[in-house]
Protein backbone atom coordinates (compact mmCIF):
# COMPACT_ATOMS: atom_id res chain seq x y z
CA UNK A 1 0.00 0.00 0.00
CA UNK A 2 1.35 3.44 -0.95
CA UNK A 3 1.15 6.63 1.14
CA UNK A 4 -1.36 7.99 -1.39
CA UNK A 5 -3.59 4.94 -0.90
CA UNK A 6 -3.28 5.35 2.88
CA UNK A 7 -4.28 9.02 2.73
CA UNK A 8 -7.29 8.22 0.53
CA UNK A 9 -8.46 5.53 2.94
CA UNK A 10 -7.77 7.85 5.91
CA UNK A 11 -9.93 10.56 4.33
CA UNK A 12 -12.70 8.04 3.70
CA UNK A 13 -12.48 6.81 7.30
CA UNK A 14 -12.46 10.33 8.73
CA UNK A 15 -15.44 11.45 6.65
CA UNK A 16 -17.56 8.40 7.21
CA UNK A 17 -16.85 7.50 10.86
CA UNK A 18 -18.95 10.39 12.13
CA UNK A 19 -21.10 11.35 9.16
CA UNK A 20 -24.11 8.99 9.01
CA UNK A 21 -22.92 7.09 5.95
CA UNK A 22 -20.94 4.17 7.52
CA UNK A 23 -17.15 4.11 7.70
CA UNK A 24 -16.95 0.30 7.49
CA UNK A 25 -19.17 0.31 4.43
CA UNK A 26 -17.19 3.00 2.65
CA UNK A 27 -13.86 1.40 3.52
CA UNK A 28 -15.20 -1.84 2.04
CA UNK A 29 -16.31 0.03 -1.09
CA UNK A 30 -12.98 1.89 -1.39
CA UNK A 31 -10.91 -1.26 -0.95
CA UNK A 32 -13.17 -3.13 -3.40
CA UNK A 33 -12.75 -0.46 -6.08
CA UNK A 34 -8.99 -0.18 -5.47
CA UNK A 35 -8.66 -3.97 -5.56
CA UNK A 36 -6.99 -4.06 -2.14
CA UNK A 37 -6.89 -7.70 -1.07
CA UNK A 38 -4.04 -7.96 1.45
CA UNK A 39 -4.65 -8.16 5.19
CA UNK A 40 -5.53 -4.61 6.29
CA UNK A 41 -6.81 -5.30 9.80
CA UNK A 42 -3.94 -3.50 11.56
CA UNK A 43 -4.16 -0.51 9.20
CA UNK A 44 -7.95 -0.27 9.69
CA UNK A 45 -7.42 -0.29 13.47
CA UNK A 46 -4.96 2.59 13.15
CA UNK A 47 -7.46 4.56 11.08
CA UNK A 48 -10.05 4.07 13.82
CA UNK A 49 -7.55 5.34 16.39
CA UNK A 50 -7.11 8.43 14.20
CA UNK A 51 -10.85 9.12 14.37
CA UNK A 52 -10.76 8.47 18.12
CA UNK A 53 -8.26 11.33 18.42
CA UNK A 54 -10.68 13.50 16.44
CA UNK A 55 -13.67 12.96 18.74
CA UNK A 56 -11.53 13.44 21.86
CA UNK A 57 -10.18 16.71 20.43
CA UNK A 58 -13.69 17.98 19.66
CA UNK A 59 -15.34 16.93 22.93
CA UNK A 60 -12.35 17.24 25.27
CA UNK A 61 -14.14 19.63 27.67
CA UNK A 62 -17.17 17.36 28.05
CA UNK A 63 -15.01 14.23 28.24
CA UNK A 64 -12.86 15.80 30.96
CA UNK A 65 -16.01 16.76 32.91
CA UNK A 66 -17.31 13.20 32.62
CA UNK A 67 -13.99 11.74 33.79
CA UNK A 68 -13.98 14.01 36.86
CA UNK A 69 -17.62 13.21 37.62
CA UNK A 70 -16.90 9.48 37.28
CA UNK A 71 -14.24 9.59 39.99
CA UNK A 72 -16.45 11.89 42.06
CA UNK A 73 -19.20 9.26 41.87
CA UNK A 74 -16.79 6.60 43.12
CA UNK A 75 -15.79 8.90 45.98
CA UNK A 76 -19.43 9.57 46.89
CA UNK A 77 -20.21 5.84 46.84
CA UNK A 78 -17.40 5.07 49.32
CA UNK A 79 -18.39 8.00 51.57
CA UNK A 80 -22.09 7.05 51.28
CA UNK A 81 -23.00 10.45 49.80
CA UNK A 82 -24.15 9.10 46.44
CA UNK A 83 -27.80 9.62 45.44
CA UNK A 84 -29.54 8.60 42.23
CA UNK A 85 -32.23 11.23 42.73
CA UNK A 86 -29.81 14.15 42.96
CA UNK A 87 -27.55 13.32 39.99
CA UNK A 88 -26.64 16.23 37.71
CA UNK A 89 -26.74 16.01 33.89
CA UNK A 90 -23.15 14.78 33.55
CA UNK A 91 -23.65 12.00 36.09
CA UNK A 92 -26.82 10.87 34.34
CA UNK A 93 -24.92 10.80 31.07
CA UNK A 94 -22.20 8.60 32.59
CA UNK A 95 -24.75 6.04 33.76
CA UNK A 96 -26.58 6.07 30.43
CA UNK A 97 -23.25 5.55 28.61
CA UNK A 98 -22.52 2.53 30.79
CA UNK A 99 -25.98 1.11 30.07
CA UNK A 100 -25.62 1.76 26.31
CA UNK A 101 -22.23 0.01 26.21
CA UNK A 102 -23.40 -3.18 27.95
CA UNK A 103 -25.05 -4.61 24.76
CA UNK A 104 -21.61 -4.61 23.09
CA UNK A 105 -20.88 -7.82 25.01
CA UNK A 106 -23.33 -9.48 22.62
CA UNK A 107 -20.55 -9.32 20.04
CA UNK A 108 -18.81 -12.08 22.00
CA UNK A 109 -21.87 -14.32 22.02
CA UNK A 110 -21.38 -17.66 20.16
CA UNK A 111 -23.38 -18.28 16.98
CA UNK A 112 -25.27 -21.59 17.32
CA UNK A 113 -24.12 -24.29 14.91
CA UNK A 114 -20.77 -22.63 14.19
CA UNK A 115 -17.44 -22.09 15.93
CA UNK A 116 -17.77 -18.32 15.45
CA UNK A 117 -18.78 -15.50 17.72
CA UNK A 118 -20.92 -12.59 16.53
CA UNK A 119 -17.83 -10.40 16.09
CA UNK A 120 -16.24 -13.08 13.89
CA UNK A 121 -19.31 -13.03 11.67
CA UNK A 122 -18.96 -9.25 11.41
CA UNK A 123 -15.35 -9.64 10.25
CA UNK A 124 -16.41 -12.15 7.60
CA UNK A 125 -19.04 -9.78 6.23
CA UNK A 126 -16.62 -6.85 6.04
CA UNK A 127 -13.59 -8.80 4.80
CA UNK A 128 -15.00 -11.12 2.15
CA UNK A 129 -15.83 -9.55 -1.24
CA UNK A 130 -18.50 -12.17 -1.93
CA UNK A 131 -20.60 -10.46 0.77
CA UNK A 132 -20.21 -7.06 -0.90
CA UNK A 133 -23.96 -6.94 -1.49
CA UNK A 134 -24.49 -6.82 2.30
CA UNK A 135 -22.85 -3.37 2.26
CA UNK A 136 -25.46 -2.18 -0.23
CA UNK A 137 -28.46 -3.43 1.73
CA UNK A 138 -26.99 -2.06 4.98
CA UNK A 139 -26.59 1.39 3.41
CA UNK A 140 -30.23 1.22 2.34
CA UNK A 141 -31.15 0.32 5.94
CA UNK A 142 -29.19 3.39 7.10
CA UNK A 143 -31.20 5.59 4.73
CA UNK A 144 -34.48 4.15 6.02
CA UNK A 145 -33.51 4.63 9.68
CA UNK A 146 -32.42 8.23 9.04
CA UNK A 147 -35.74 8.88 7.28
CA UNK A 148 -37.79 7.51 10.19
CA UNK A 149 -35.76 9.45 12.74
CA UNK A 150 -36.02 12.69 10.76
CA UNK A 151 -39.78 12.36 10.21
CA UNK A 152 -40.44 11.49 13.86
CA UNK A 153 -38.40 14.48 15.08
CA UNK A 154 -40.30 16.87 12.79
CA UNK A 155 -43.65 15.54 14.03
CA UNK A 156 -42.48 15.89 17.63
CA UNK A 157 -41.39 19.47 16.91
CA UNK A 158 -44.84 20.39 15.50
CA UNK A 159 -46.53 18.76 18.50
CA UNK A 160 -44.39 20.70 20.99
CA UNK A 161 -44.94 23.94 19.06
CA UNK A 162 -48.73 23.50 19.36
CA UNK A 163 -48.43 22.72 23.08
CA UNK A 164 -46.05 25.64 23.63
CA UNK A 165 -43.41 23.34 25.14
CA UNK A 166 -40.78 23.57 22.40
CA UNK A 167 -37.35 24.33 23.85
CA UNK A 168 -34.78 26.60 22.23
CA UNK A 169 -32.57 23.51 22.02
CA UNK A 170 -35.14 21.76 19.82
CA UNK A 171 -37.80 19.10 20.17
CA UNK A 172 -37.43 16.12 22.46
CA UNK A 173 -35.86 15.10 25.77
CA UNK A 174 -32.45 16.49 26.69
CA UNK A 175 -31.39 13.33 28.56
CA UNK A 176 -31.76 9.62 27.85
CA UNK A 177 -33.61 7.15 30.04
CA UNK A 178 -32.35 3.63 30.75
CA UNK A 179 -34.62 2.21 28.03
CA UNK A 180 -33.37 4.85 25.56
CA UNK A 181 -29.77 3.89 26.31
CA UNK A 182 -30.51 0.17 25.85
CA UNK A 183 -32.16 0.80 22.46
CA UNK A 184 -29.23 2.97 21.33
CA UNK A 185 -26.75 0.36 22.58
CA UNK A 186 -28.48 -2.49 20.74
CA UNK A 187 -28.53 -0.36 17.59
CA UNK A 188 -24.78 0.17 17.92
CA UNK A 189 -24.28 -3.61 18.09
CA UNK A 190 -26.18 -4.04 14.83
CA UNK A 191 -24.03 -1.35 13.23
CA UNK A 192 -20.90 -3.18 14.42
CA UNK A 193 -22.05 -6.38 12.72
CA UNK A 194 -23.23 -5.11 9.34
CA UNK A 195 -20.77 -3.05 7.23
CA UNK A 196 -22.77 -0.25 5.66
CA UNK A 197 -25.07 0.30 8.64
CA UNK A 198 -23.84 3.63 9.98
CA UNK A 199 -23.07 3.64 13.70
CA UNK A 200 -23.58 7.38 14.10
CA UNK A 201 -26.61 7.46 11.80
CA UNK A 202 -28.41 4.44 13.23
CA UNK A 203 -27.81 5.40 16.88
CA UNK A 204 -28.88 8.98 16.16
CA UNK A 205 -32.07 7.71 14.52
CA UNK A 206 -32.69 5.32 17.44
CA UNK A 207 -32.40 8.24 19.86
CA UNK A 208 -34.74 10.39 17.80
CA UNK A 209 -37.31 7.59 17.57
CA UNK A 210 -37.17 7.38 21.36
CA UNK A 211 -38.02 11.10 21.55
CA UNK A 212 -34.53 12.36 22.42
CA UNK A 213 -33.49 15.81 21.21
CA UNK A 214 -31.41 15.26 18.07
CA UNK A 215 -28.42 17.35 19.17
CA UNK A 216 -28.42 15.56 22.54
CA UNK A 217 -28.70 12.21 20.76
CA UNK A 218 -25.81 13.15 18.46
CA UNK A 219 -23.57 14.26 21.33
CA UNK A 220 -24.38 11.01 23.15
CA UNK A 221 -23.50 8.84 20.15
CA UNK A 222 -20.21 10.72 19.60
CA UNK A 223 -19.18 10.38 23.26
CA UNK A 224 -20.24 6.71 23.17
CA UNK A 225 -17.84 6.29 20.24
CA UNK A 226 -14.81 6.89 22.50
CA UNK A 227 -15.01 3.70 24.62
CA UNK A 228 -16.51 1.77 21.69
CA UNK A 229 -13.70 2.58 19.27
CA UNK A 230 -11.05 2.17 21.98
CA UNK A 231 -12.34 -1.28 22.99
CA UNK A 232 -12.58 -2.40 19.36
CA UNK A 233 -9.05 -1.12 18.66
CA UNK A 234 -7.57 -2.98 21.64
CA UNK A 235 -9.28 -6.25 20.65
CA UNK A 236 -8.46 -6.00 16.95
CA UNK A 237 -4.90 -4.85 17.60
CA UNK A 238 -3.97 -8.14 19.24
CA UNK A 239 -5.54 -10.07 16.34
CA UNK A 240 -3.80 -7.89 13.76
CA UNK A 241 -0.34 -8.21 15.31
CA UNK A 242 -0.65 -12.00 15.66
CA UNK A 243 -2.09 -12.46 12.16
CA UNK A 244 0.04 -14.24 9.51
CA UNK A 245 2.47 -11.75 7.97
CA UNK A 246 2.27 -9.41 10.97
CA UNK A 247 1.61 -5.74 10.32
CA UNK A 248 2.82 -5.84 6.72
CA UNK A 249 2.60 -2.05 6.25
CA UNK A 250 5.30 0.59 6.72
CA UNK A 251 5.17 3.07 9.61
CA UNK A 252 5.07 6.02 7.18
CA UNK A 253 1.98 4.66 5.47
CA UNK A 254 0.27 4.08 8.83
CA UNK A 255 1.07 7.60 10.08
CA UNK A 256 -0.20 9.17 6.84
CA UNK A 257 -3.50 7.30 7.13
CA UNK A 258 -3.93 8.15 10.82
CA UNK A 259 -3.27 11.87 10.28
CA UNK A 260 -5.73 11.99 7.40
CA UNK A 261 -8.44 10.20 9.40
CA UNK A 262 -7.89 12.41 12.49
CA UNK A 263 -7.99 15.75 10.64
CA UNK A 264 -10.88 14.87 8.35
CA UNK A 265 -12.71 13.17 11.25
CA UNK A 266 -12.64 16.38 13.30
CA UNK A 267 -13.97 18.40 10.37
CA UNK A 268 -16.72 15.85 9.73
CA UNK A 269 -17.97 16.20 13.34
CA UNK A 270 -18.21 19.96 12.86
CA UNK A 271 -20.01 19.46 9.53
CA UNK A 272 -22.46 16.87 10.88
CA UNK A 273 -23.50 19.00 13.86
CA UNK A 274 -24.09 21.98 11.56
CA UNK A 275 -26.09 19.97 9.01
CA UNK A 276 -28.24 18.49 11.79
CA UNK A 277 -28.82 21.91 13.34
CA UNK A 278 -29.82 23.41 9.97
CA UNK A 279 -32.12 20.46 9.20
CA UNK A 280 -30.25 19.15 6.14
CA UNK A 281 -30.38 15.42 6.94
CA UNK A 282 -32.02 14.80 3.56
CA UNK A 283 -28.49 14.95 2.11
CA UNK A 284 -27.48 11.78 3.95
CA UNK A 285 -30.82 10.08 3.41
CA UNK A 286 -30.52 10.46 -0.37
CA UNK A 287 -26.78 9.73 -0.45
CA UNK A 288 -26.95 6.44 1.46
CA UNK A 289 -29.94 5.34 -0.63
CA UNK A 290 -28.19 6.09 -3.94
CA UNK A 291 -24.87 4.49 -2.91
CA UNK A 292 -26.70 1.51 -1.44
CA UNK A 293 -28.61 0.88 -4.66
CA UNK A 294 -25.40 1.29 -6.70
CA UNK A 295 -23.55 -1.26 -4.54
CA UNK A 296 -26.42 -3.76 -4.80
CA UNK A 297 -26.49 -3.39 -8.60
CA UNK A 298 -22.69 -3.75 -8.88
CA UNK A 299 -22.77 -6.80 -6.58
CA UNK A 300 -25.43 -8.51 -8.71
CA UNK A 301 -23.41 -7.83 -11.88
CA UNK A 302 -20.23 -9.21 -10.28
CA UNK A 303 -22.02 -12.31 -9.04
CA UNK A 304 -23.19 -12.98 -12.60
CA UNK A 305 -19.82 -12.42 -14.30
CA UNK A 306 -17.77 -13.95 -11.49
CA UNK A 307 -15.17 -11.22 -10.86
CA UNK A 308 -14.58 -7.67 -9.59
CA UNK A 309 -15.52 -5.25 -12.39
CA UNK A 310 -13.10 -2.56 -11.14
CA UNK A 311 -9.85 -4.56 -11.42
Confirm whether 43 is domain-assigned. Answer: yes
Give me the pLDDT at residue 166, please: 84
What is the pTM assigned to this prediction? 0.88
Parent domain of 176: 3-305
Give the model confidence (pLDDT) of 230-273 as tens digits: 887 777 776 666 655 555 677 888 899 999 999 999 999 999 99
Q: Enumerate long-range contacts of 284-287, CB under 8 Å, 24 or more apart.
A: 284/19, 284/20, 284/21, 284/143, 284/146, 284/201, 285/143, 285/146, 285/147, 285/150, 286/143, 287/21
Asked if the structure places residue 311 within a domain, the reply is: no
Residue 310 domain flag:
no
Question: How far is it, in rounded angstroms, from Cα 117 to Cα 115?
Answer: 7
The answer as to whether 238 is a domain residue is yes
Total count of domains within the chain: 1
* 61-105 per-position pLDDT tens digit: 999 999 999 999 999 888 888 888 888 889 999 999 999 999 999
What would the mean pLDDT of 119-133 be, rounded to a whole number? 80
Domain-located, residue 169? yes
pLDDT at 245: 55
Amino acid sequence: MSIFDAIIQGIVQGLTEFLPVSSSGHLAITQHIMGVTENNLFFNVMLHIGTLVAVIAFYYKLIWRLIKEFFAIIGDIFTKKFSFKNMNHDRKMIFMLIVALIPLFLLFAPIPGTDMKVKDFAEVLSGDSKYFIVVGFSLLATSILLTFGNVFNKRLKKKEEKQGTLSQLGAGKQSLTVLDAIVVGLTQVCAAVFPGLSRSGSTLAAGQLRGVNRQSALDFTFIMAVPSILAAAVLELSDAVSAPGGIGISIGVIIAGMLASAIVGYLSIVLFKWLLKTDKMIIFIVYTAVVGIAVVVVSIIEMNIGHNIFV
